Amino acid sequence: MKKPNLLYIFTDQQRPDTMACYGNTQIETPALNQLADESFVFEHAYVSQPVCSPSRATMLCGLYPHTARVPACNVRLPNEVQTVAEMVSDDYRCAYMGKWHLGNEIFPQHGFTEWVGTEDSYRQFFSSPDLHEQVSDYHRFLSEQGMVPDSESFGEPVFSRHFEASQEEALTKAAYQGDRAAQFIRESGEDPFVLAVSYLEPHPPHMGPLNEYYDPWKLPTGPHFRIRPPANASLLNRVLSAYYMESQEEGYDLRTEEGWRRIRGRYWGNVTLVDRSVAKILRALEESGKADETIVVFTSDHGEMVGDHGILGKTVLYEESVKVPLLIRVPWLGRHQRRIDGNFGHIDLVPTILDLMGQAVPDHLEGVSRKEVLDGEATLADNDVFIQWNRSDGHPRAGEAAVNPPMATPWRSVVSADRWKLNLSAHDQCELYDLNTDPYEMVNLFDVPEQRDCVQDLARRIGAWQAAFGDRVVLPQGL
């Protein structure tokens, strides 16, 4: 077989329960359903940090955020930190399409020589003032359709995200990316390719052409929907919940159940919008005759709370924020669904992908290849995953006096192989959850005397991980 291609698709802020393979039988995602039916489906896939830029550094570089030196959003990925596109052999044609969020947003970089930019929202983080003369490819596309920019940034007229999200489906960012990615595949020729397609959706703004597609009152919810964290939960979780449960976001009153349900319905609508775009890409892959020689990876950079524990967004260590869907289709290993039990960390994505492609796995990567798991020669039964939160980066919005201070407190978390989660912070209430009996994380067991041995064991694991990976964040001592 010739060198395999890589189609690496990821969304922004998508939780697993927006797909049928993770139990959602109501949402319409036929393209992702079909992909899942032909893929390895990972039951418990975790991000390295529940916010965009740090997580993307891990997903693309195989390094933890603190090692990649991207501890927070809007931090530029250092030039010397390699992405997967810089790790494959030189004969690969490497393209990136969509949201980057790792600096110099719309310009080719880090081994991706072909680039389709979609975001004009990060212009303030360009590395040089002269770059502000440029706008994204998607901006130019909208202008060609006769659209007039509704905003301005650094002297240039630009389209706001709300304007972009208000377009009819054919002109949405998601549809545009699907068209461009399908075109790339059809015109890719004989050289092997790496194509990364990164969607903004279902990230806010929670609006789009499918705003009313789902009946908000028919959406399933869990027992933690709109339930504020208990008094012994972390201050971070409590203040975020208090903030959002008394706020008005995206035009909806989150003091009411209706407001939360309508935002959740819009969120589902944008997942379906992405699915329709993914369908174009997968169709092009089949029609080009390249499907059987292409690894397809689908995942997301973090999850979304959409009202669970009374929180909107990410940036917390609850499962809805740190767990994501993960599908890997490897045609020569069979196009049928296989479930992968156990914990999988995004830190292992890059080495696994490279190994599946037959490419050398660099020694500096901090994850390990899980190819043997896909080959059926190993399992994830003993795999702990480690998650970090490094500091505030302006979420949920700058100037919220009650919210931003606790968000500036670093956290380290472990989800153990036997499904216990310990969240540690030196300046906040620590948390321990038994995900086996309390999957919604409603009862914090950290201060329960009978759980001291468990806390100490998991804290030791976090300490050993810190020592192994040079993490210097100070955590509680003497647990």
- How many angstroms separate the CA atoms of 299 and 198, rounded? 10
26: left (phi over 0), alpha (psi -120 to 50) or beta: alpha
- With beta carbons less than 8 A apart as the criterion, state whether 130 and 104 touch: no
User: Could you name the CATH architecture of 5-390?
Assistant: 3-Layer(aba) Sandwich (3.40)
- How many angstroms separate the CA atoms of 423 and 428, rounded? 10
pLDDT digits (tens, 9 = 90+) for 6-55: 999 999 999 999 999 999 999 999 999 999 999 999 999 999 999 999 99
- How many angstroms separate the CA atoms of 242 and 235, rounded? 10
For CA atoms 218, 224, 229, 231, the dihedral sign is: positive
- How many angstroms separate the CA atoms of 124 and 126, rounded? 6
| Residue of 200, 215, 214 whose CA lies nearest to 165 | 200
- Distance from the Cα of residue 349 to its chain's centroid: 13
Residues of the chain with pLDDT under 70: 1, 392-402
- How many angstroms separate the CA atoms of 159 and 149, rounded? 5
Q: Label residue 347 exposed, middle or buried (CB < 10 Å: 0-12, 13-18, 19+).
A: buried
Residue type, 201: E
Q: What are the DSSP E strand ranges found in 269-424?
A: 294-300, 323-324, 326-329, 338-345, 385-389, 411-415, 420-424
Please measure the distance between the N-terminal and C-terminal CA atoms of the chain and give it in whole angstroms: 54
Output the pLDDT for position 407: 84
Output the pLDDT for position 398: 45
Output the pLDDT for position 400: 61
Domain boundaries, the chain: 5-390
